[in-house]
Amino acid sequence: MIRQLLLSFLLIQTTLVAARGKGHHRHNVPPPPKKWLTLYGGEPVVVARGGFSGIAPESSSPAYTLAQQTSLASTILLCDIQFTKDSQAFCQYNLNLQNATDIPSAFQDLKPKTYNINGKNVEGWYGVDFMADDLFKNVFLMQSIYTRSPSLDGALNLLSPYDIVGLQGSPRLWINVEYPSFYDGLKISPSSYILDTMRDFNPAYISSPEVGFLKGLAGKVNPTKLILRISDINEVEPTTKTQYVKLLSDMNMIKTFASGVILPKDSIWPISSGRLLLPATSFVSDFHKAGLEVFASGFANDNFLSYNYSYDPTKEYLQFIDNSQFSVDGVITDFPPTASEAIACLAQNINASRLVKTLIISHDGASGDYPGSTDLAYQKAIDDGADIIDCSVQLSKDGVAFCLPSADLTGTTTAASAFLDRSTKIPEIQDKDGIFSFDLTWNEIQSLKPQLVSVFDGPLVRNPANKNVGKFVTLPEFLDLAKQRAVSGVLVNIENAAYLASNKGLDIVDVVTTALSNATLDKQSTQKVLIQSDDSSVLLKFQDIKTYQRVLTIEKDISGTTEQTVQEVKIYADAVKVFRNSIVLDYPNPVFMSLNFSNVVEVMHAANISVYVGVLRNEFQNFLFDYYADPYVELATLTQKGVDGITTDYPATANAYMRSPCSNPNANLPYTILPINPGDMFNNLAAAKPPEAAPPLPLLQTADIVDPPLPPVTKTAESMPESSSGSGSNTPPAPAPKHSTSTKVASNTGLIITAMFGVLSILSRNFKSFF
């Protein structure tokens, strides 16, 4: 049965590749050549560690096939060789097979064994204890990093190097032999195996961490290049008993048996304990001067990147291949398509013109890097290429309008430590207790500090160094900044208008209207003005100002809409903002894969209503597996679906994509960033079982759109000047009207956070030493 499923996967995989991979690297006209700072001036190579091991189990057929079809044509497939008792080779990085295969359950009558590996006794399950036939027939691969999809676990056999070179397209092969001394001690000779099979494999590279092994092959495997592999420069090399860091100082000695070295990426660009980049070492430049190539290892989209990269994995690659000092000669990665993007699409592209016209709308400024809605967040959003900067307007008790993501100050400021006694529960706004802006004066709010919000728990936090930086921005200051920096437009988001009017005596609509008028933004058409609200009655207040675009927020997950409902939307709004998973529908959790497109874009566009989608974020935990933990694939999917704007915490990433030549699916280029086909990932993981039936997301309904008229502003004791606060009036405030059924609910991303928190904790402690 498992073999039938595997056969089905491989057959359907061809269809997936044809549909999604078409156009990746099969064009005839090359782009203009780039100049690189590699040793020989050529393009850095992508080396796929065990294939596309970020998606399929390492060294499996789907992993290698996907790596070929989704990456640059020059991509090299890396096979880490291990051996069986009868000296047959198979591809797997870890000598101990316990985590990467189901071997403990395959041989339940046997017990694990202990071997001394480079001076350490390690208990586990080893290939050398089994004959090749037993391993290849009975042992199946598992995804050994637990935040990756387990859908193919237990369905894929081990592969030999012959299986890889037999793949369609005659792939280039890199063979790594990690433990030659260990095998020599068991009378299994990796050197003999390599020499006996050289003509069959014709590898481009052979690497090993052991100097003695490489010296034994020197001069015998030409033109294959020999590479010294170093996983940790502070470890001791097994044959010379010398620390690698000392060996690296003797480049002339290395040159006698090797053409280059593999270095862990952190030894090239060190990272501080606070996960910030330190100055680069001189390793690459020094080795290039000595005539030796340098390959960097350890790249993975779902690793905990330096905060300097804003969780954009392409930025890490660019740091190594597109800086003014050097370029490594290749990168070894679990996600070869992302490395391909960096090399073919983003490197040397800083001054490129904008190709994709989809609006980039900030979400509380560049809130992935700085506390949301602060001066620093807005300045970075503008510098990073946002077309529209946004302000969610909040009011203080004394009526000062300022920008902040939420009226509840507990998450976005330090209010919890300063004003805990002001905490209260307001069901009309949220289910939990909060400390609300309209219960504090502006002076009290200014005594607080902004706070950077980390959307994901565990180690996937945003830069702690920026946790409380920046200052609060009033609405007039925000509008002045937009005019001074000449951004394309502003988005002003209005929430809680009915509650503020009836319970706090505050007219937020009037405050916003006056501020926009004072900034003369109602009397011009140079800069766009977007008025956004989840309350249709708020939007009606702006219907007479034709230069404003009214945006209705749909704050619930929907599976689509109807023409009738859209005509209702059109009464109140010129555009809608929807969640990401209202455009790309997904399977019920915990599958974390796409299902289909909704009809929202098409039906809204037919009524001349624009569609904005958000919030987009770079953190790998934010993505369905279809997106390869790659924000550029999601951007390609949404923009090519036709959305009119994307709201993002990281405008720089959106801007980089929209300036990339690879964003054009019709361009004749060696590589293209292609969108997903919803459903393909799940349909092609044939070992996956369909999830249990779940109620479909609802269609957008009129009740989600139409709200009661705004109540009159009721003067309360709090809102009156002090001289009149004791007037003796006993008139209670008018109750806030019932809002439409468009309630604030968490998107599926929130469910992903909950489901994966546990595995992230495991990952932070036990992230494997593949890298």
3-state secondary structure of 645: strand
Computed over every residue of the chain, the mean pLDDT equals 89
Per-residue pLDDT, 769: 34
pLDDT in tens, 346-357: 999 888 899 999
* Separation between Cα atoms, residue 404 and residue 742, nearest integer Å: 22
Task: Determine how β-strand 330-333 pairs with β-strand 113-117.
Answer: unpaired
Q: Characterize the bridge pairing of strands 433-434 and 424-425.
A: antiparallel
pLDDT at 760: 36
Q: Which of 763, 765, 764 is nearest to 144 (CA)?
A: 763
Q: Give the pLDDT confidence of 285-336 residue by residue, as tens digits.
A: 999 999 999 999 999 999 999 999 999 999 999 999 999 999 999 999 999 9
Distance between CA atoms of 124 and 112, rounded to whole angstroms? 5
Which helix (H) or strand (E) covers residue 506, if one does?
Answer: none
Can you give the pLDDT at residue 727?
33
Strand, helix or coil for residue 163: helix
Contacts of 297 (CB under 8 A, 6+ apart): 49, 229, 231, 262, 263, 264, 265, 331, 332, 771
Alpha carbon separation from 407 to 400, 424, 437 (Å, rounded): 13, 12, 5
DSSP state of 565: H
Smallest CA-to-CA distance from 534 within 745, 698, 742, 746 is with 742
| Residue 591 φ/ψ, nearest 5 degrees | -75, -40
The DSSP string of 197-255 is HHHHH--SEEEES-HHHHHHHTTTSTTSEEEEE-S-TTSBPTTT--BHHHHTT-HHHHH
Q: Contact, 227 vs 120, CB < 8 A? A: no
* pLDDT computed for residue 652 by the predictor: 98
Place of tokens 């219960």: 439
Backbone angles phi, psi at 403, to 5 degrees: -100, 130
pLDDT score for 12? 43
Closest CA to 386 of 526, 482, 516, 515: 482
Q: Give the H/E segment covering residue 753.
A: helix 748-766
Residue 667 confidence (pLDDT)? 83
Q: How far apart, in whole angstroms, are the C-alpha atoms of residue 742 and residue 524?
A: 33
Measured between alpha carbons, how far is residue 249 from residues 166, 211, 291, 525, 721 in Å?
40, 15, 14, 63, 76
In the DSSP assignment, the letter for residue 456 is S
Structure tokens at 92: 């797997």
DSSP 700: P
Q: Is 259 exposed, middle or buried (0-12, 13-18, 19+ CB in 10 A)?
A: middle
| Those residues with Cβ within 8 angstroms of residue 614's Cβ, 6 or more apart along the chain or in another chain | 361, 363, 577, 579, 580, 646, 647, 648
Q: How many residues does the chain have?
A: 771
Look at residue 11 in the predicted model and tell me its pLDDT.
41
Beta bridge partner(s), residue 553 = 577
pLDDT below 50 — which residues of the chain? Answer: 1-23, 25-29, 721-735, 742-771
- Provide the Cα torsion 326, 311, 624, 530; round to 10°: -120
DSSP string across 519-564:
TTTTS-SSSEEEEEES-HHHHHTTTT-TTEEEEEE--S--SB--HH
- Angle between helical axes of 475-484 and 508-518 (0-180°, round to 10): 30
Q: What is the pTM of this model?
A: 0.89
pLDDT at 687: 53
pLDDT score for 23? 40
Residue 431, C-beta contacts closer than 8 angstroms, at least 6 positions apart: none
**Cα 771 from Cα 769, distance rounded (Å):** 5
**C-alpha pair distances (Å), 183 with each of 82, 121, 195, 211, 684:** 9, 15, 16, 15, 38
Decide if 238 contacts 209 (C-beta within 8 A): yes
